[in-house]
Structure 1
């Protein structure tokens, strides 16, 4: 028996020894063709679905392998992706992979996805309509990549604005931000114009990066704002399989779910897909705010040969929430304490709602006609649908019989609104490469068509004002109190005042008010634009010359017997020069003009807002430098600019119509900005921004307005976010993140109300094990009370107090 036990023990020990000897590790190195190590490269072990990032010496390691043949895929920005088969056996565990510099033809339209997984983005279409390295674009373009969005657990566009230099909030509304001191509302998706009707900010599950083209971009994208234009770049299919699911939960009963699936649909990889899904159900630090959001975003790319690429995007976004128009504070005089009202305070009723649907479809085509000529075309159809009920302020305090404001009560109104808006955007252009002597040309010649329509059938149901004895309503006039219904010596409001001291959020039946039902006038405008742009390369210099002829047509009294077309046109130039003395350094200068009609159709209601108005005319001078550090892992952009704009719309200050607008003479912004994005080391990523600027009125028919700073435009603003992942084996998988953001004092639309400066800190902790990643983010660490923007004493937008988010993700 002892012999049997001994034999069994020997066999077991032998098997264990064999298994132990079969567990191998492979040490590898990624280099370029000159055998120089490439740190930060991505190496994927296909059979195990494992990914490693090379260290400072270009080294990587996979352990716990058994003898077999394995496939490795190595990639890095600016290099061709390399696939390698390697037979792992005893005594043979060293692997070196060399990557070749990528010098391929650049895309004409963004069809295939970005494989990089970094804070840095190397190329962009938005600056030139061709895929151009950012260092060769003679204009500042700031951006936030999906990796920053993921690490900060940002879920809406408002969460990432802090990473852009010179960008601050104007309100909570979608795309309502200040860029370089000017209020901006225009938005692009993949370089195509979208309507700005939406109030709610969309979720970001299908966003590759958010770019901001600084300064006027009219020479490329028609009528745009002078401070800058936000371009959202959506995720495109990849030719390698990647799948992930993420769940998050945190403050304000927030629950989120996201999924991202992409890869080839056939063996030849001519058909690629991507599917992004997102769901959020969240409340808010504000009373009766928050809501439910859902996004479904499939995308397909068809690449039948090396001459043809086609992409199709479909995005469905649904939001069920309430329209948050900010909060009033007690009192309305200089020196009023902003803290007199809790930041959690909001106006409204329990039965208020704002249901919004955004649906857009995009088709893009690239066809290489000859060796030097490529045709590119894109089309977007965008639909917006709104169903709204709100109890909101009339932008003024309640008044007593003498017409004196009551600082603890707000005059209210109700709005019941249903409507749709449609937008079409077509762009088609040829890219031609040729040489004239020592000069290399890349010429873009194209045509754009943009159309926006609010159809017949949109309608409002509105109650406002004070009740009159004749059964009608109107604005109270202290000189004719006998015309109004009085109670306890004060005029009776049509919609009960909202008591700021004792708020009442109970359900309110709007049929009990005197309502006016009105059909919203249908509206339509369309734009034709033809343009030519030449990117000229000669030695260390690159010049950009562009000219656009735009024809803008607005239809006044659309669909009515006296319909009239109002036509405007503009010739818009753009000039730029880039000098690259060293491979890592570029200096640039640019001149650009902007043009934006302000018409009846854009304003939407001339009786309410005034008009028609003259178009906005702007111009910009900008110089700067773009550099790269740490083996091109980190980029920095420094810019100096001056922007002038004429015919700015501001509030007319009419007490009888608080929403009436008028045009100011001229505004000017001067400033310095810096944006830094990338990695100092492969395991140490950073994004930083800083801006010093002064945006003010320089000409006005009211002398007291000259020198007045623009609303929500701080003189100083900046931010920093850094993430560090430990390489020590004892701390493998652990990472930390930290950030700080500063916003200086700002004016509002009310000249006596100034918003205070604030500094916010944030922190994060990450842990990755196998295919799981656990994240914890803490925002506003020290619970700083602050305001992100504001209009007046009755329309302020407080920022969120301390809040947290816990996320868990699985990649497979």
Structure 2
């Protein structure tokens, strides 16, 4: 099927026509292009197009997402040609595993792997999912997942780090409950890697333990890496912007051999950027190769690697004066010095196999290994203000400490399952049964030197100040400390908020007293078996699942008194979907979750414990709809999540990492999401969430009813992009949007809050053939805001007004 023209080379031929579907309805936005790709256009709102091509041998193709790419063969022997085309919808089966890359080039996505163990249409999943495609990520100029999640209802940043809140519950990259391609991983927590290697970012809302084991009850975040395509695509982009930012990104993909049985993709990213925060910078190199081998129509083998080498400094946040005035210090104020460093290396390498034994039976096996190494030297707050000789806090002096830490961490996980389809009369079933294994190990060799507290009276070491001991016998107790000008002399000089630049200068750390901090090796592993049945009868679908998980943690790992501790859980999942109309699906779901929380799991022996496992459950009802010939989708959800055996900071003097059990928390809310195209030239993403997440049980009566940390009651977001496809402005695109986050409570001190904020962002795009010029402007009004925080000594300010200029080039 093709269109060929055999005429003289120098003249042009104009082709007019209309594109419709099989039922005769017009299709706006269809790509119409010649065989060399240089002569192209798109159909308008009425499905009409006009294309001028040279009088040479031509192939004119017609392509649009969801339809079979079509071409025709005619002889161009006149000045004008009329050509009407009918496109057929694709009938391809859903994949059992994400084998090849997503070909769509829009914000909208129709299917996901995160909510089931094989691809499922989003409308048929009885649970809420929010996502952002690579197209949206690129249009917004987003380079971190923290920049992306603002688009999702009920999701916001918790801190600067790889650390977010979903429906009021926190998850972070250091907990290994975030996913890459549906497999458990760890990102190191402190720094968010570049997002250039991602096909999309998606969040499955609510407990996901029935699918992935221990995880946050708010939801699970999945990073989907770009997979190889069977067609050649190459792109390169260079970005420059505020704070001396420079980035270079490349993405190449296509077949590696003539019969396309071996496909490849390589994503590369380089970043060298400073920050609005004092002494902060990021130097990153990301290399992400991917290979897909298709030896037969029934077998596929995937290899994926994401390697990130990061050099930076660890930013512990902004500190303000002890009076509690958030505006008393510049948001640029960082407590670092010039000899601080944070060098991290992370790799995620995976291998997956999918084999189809028959049309009804598939087998999938995947293994992924994560390796993380950290080399840290930092000056940071001791989470308190410095003290005078009476134990009173001095408002302008932040108590300081030094961490010198080296450690490595490894995460292994395996997933194997079968997928079996059965049809009995009018009943269709898809049965999934499988086994999971996961482990995390902090091996021998992790070590940390810490300098903190106050100098003793003989200036030969450091000791902590305990206010209750001072109150018993002030005169004798204070004699144990070195006192100058009525101030306790700190082991590490305090940070003077009245003289920031002097405090940030290099110091002679050899004069400080360092002690070996406890950083023992840790190890845990889990085994799990599960079964899931997706039953379809007419307009009704039921998703029923059950997972049994057995978790083993080692207390005092590799020591003479090593002991195993165990926990187990039986986790049901039940969901129901009813297709009310062709465009509207209604659903309800009930799921349970759990997370063991021993000291080893928390990777911090100073946290206390062991604690009882976190147990959670969720009830959710919602609707998923599609409009405008499936170009636009909308969803709504109402839910309640409960979690018990929660822990919070104990706030005990001298034990900043100590935790305490609180009791129960509850989250109730509603969410709305809208994504797609209103017309072919206008893309939209919008979301709103109302979430009431609060403490319902606590031994401290005053905490009952208090808002959970960094869990805003209201969040809202909108982003629009319009492309001009005709006339003088052809090739120009305009984007813009707004993001609102309500006020929040801080995590270390539940009585401290940070204010709400509204940000406005905009973008301009201009395409000239294969070249795109893009300009992004964020926080246009220069709104002073905070994205999160632990307390008023560790606040995480948002970026002021900033810009990014990007030049992109696409190869055929």
Q: Normalised by the size of structure 2, how large is the TM-score?
A: 0.95
Residues matched between the structures, number? 789
Say which of 740, 743, 760 aligns to 2:741.
743
Counterpart Cα distance in 2 of 1:432 and 1:149: 36
- The equivalences for 1:386-465 within 5 A come to 386-465=374-453
Write out aligned runs for 1:267-666 (5 A). Answer: 267-332=258-323, 336-469=324-457, 471-477=460-466, 478=470, 479=474, 480-503=477-500, 504-518=503-517, 520-606=519-605, 608-666=606-664
Moved over 6 A (4+): 18-21
Q: Please give the alpha-carbon distance, in whole angstroms, between the structure 1 residues aligned to 2:560 and 2:63.
A: 63
Residues 692 and 716, structure 1, Cα contact 8 Å, conserved in 2:
yes
Whether 1:234 and 2:230 are equivalent positions in the alignment is no
Q: C-alpha distance in 2, partners of 1:592/1:60? A: 50
CA, structure 1 residues 49+298, in 2 after alignment: closer, same or farther (shift >3 Å)?
farther
CA distance in 2, matches of 1:543, 1:455: 44
Offset of residue 658 of structure 1: 2.3
Aligned residues of 1:69 and 1:86 also touching (Cα < 8 A) = no
8 A contact 1:386–1:420 mirrored in 2: yes
SS at match of 1:147: helix
8 Å CA contact 1:238–1:272 kept in 2: the answer is yes
- Once the two structures are overlaid, the 10-residue window that deviates more, 133-142 or 193-202, is 193-202
Q: CA deviation at 1:772?
A: 0.8
Please say if residues 239 and 272 of structure 1, whose CA atoms lie closer than 8 Å, have aligned partners that are also in contact.
Answer: yes
Farther-moved stretch of structure 1 (309-318 vs 53-62): 53-62
In structure 1, the partner of 2:149 is 161
What are the superposed Cα offsets for residues 491-519 of structure 1, whole Å, 9 maximum, x if unpaired? Answer: 11110001111022112243221111356
Pick aligned residue for 2:165 from 153, 170, 178: 178
CA distance in 2, matches of 1:783, 1:112: 42
Separation (CA, whole Å) in 2 of partners of 1:53 and 1:611: 62
Please say if residues 66 and 88 of structure 1, whose CA atoms lie closer than 8 Å, have aligned partners that are also in contact.
Answer: no
Is the 2:188–2:346 Cα contact (8 Å) retained in structure 1? no
Give the 5 Å matches for 1:39-78.
Answer: 39-49=28-38, 52-63=41-52, 65-78=53-66
DSSP 3-state at the match of 1:148: helix
* Aligned mate of 1:706, from 704, 707, 713: 704
**Structure 1 segment 690-729 matched on structure 2, within 5 A:** 690-729=688-727
Displacement after TM superposition at 1:304 (Å): 2.2
Q: 1:83 to 1:654 in 2, by over 3 A?
A: farther
Q: 2:26 aligns with which of 22, 25, 37?
A: 37
* Cα-to-partner distance string for 1:82-118 (whole Å, 9 max, x where unaligned): 3555554434633344332222221111111000011
What secondary structure sits across from 1:149 in the alignment?
helix
Contact persistence 1:578–1:589 (CA under 8 A): yes
Deviation, structure 1 residue 286: 0.6
* Conserved? CA contact 1:198–1:356, under 8 Å: no
Q: Distance in 1 between matches of 2:250 and 2:81?
A: 36
Deviation at 1:474, TM superposition (A): 1.6
Corresponding residue number in structure 2 for 1:136: 124
State whether residues 640 and 673 of structure 1, in contact with CA within 8 Å, keep that contact through their aligned partners in structure 2.
yes
**TM-score, normalised on structure 1?**
0.95
Per-residue displacement from partner, 1:62-93 (whole Å, max 9, x unpaired)? 32x22233334433333333355555443463
Give the superposed CA RMSD.
1.6
User: Counterpart of 2:682?
Assistant: 684
CA change 1:347–1:676 in 2 (3 A) is same
Post-superposition CA distance 1:516-551 (Å, at most 9, x none): 135621111111111001111110111100000001
Summarize deviations over 1:554-598 as a string: whole Å, max 9, x none.
111111222111111100000000011211110000001011110
In structure 2, C-alpha distance between the alignment counterparts of 1:263 and 1:20, rounded to whole Å: 31
Q: CA deviation at 1:301?
A: 0.9
Q: In the alignment, which of 255, 264, 268 is matched to residue 255 of structure 2?
A: 264
CA 1:310/1:42 → structure 2, altered by over 3 Å: closer, same or farther? farther
- C-alpha contact (below 8 Å) 2:266/2:288 kept by paired residues: yes
Q: In the TM superposition, what whole-angstrom CA distance separates every residue of 1:211-255 from its partner, at most 9, and x where no partner exists?
A: 000000000011010011100111101111111111111111111
The 1:425–1:62 alpha-carbon spacing in structure 2 relative to 1, beyond 3 Å, is farther
The answer to whether the Cα contact below 8 Å between 1:216 and 1:618 also exists between their aligned partners in 2 is: yes
Contact map agreement 2:233 2:254 (CA 8 A) in 1: yes
CA 1:457–1:84 in structure 2 vs 1: closer, same or farther (change >3 Å)?
farther
Kept in 2: contact 1:476–1:491 (CA 8 A): no
Per-residue CA deviations over 1:356-379 (Å, capped at 9, x if unaligned) read 111111111111011210001111
Structure 2 residue aligned with 1:197: 188
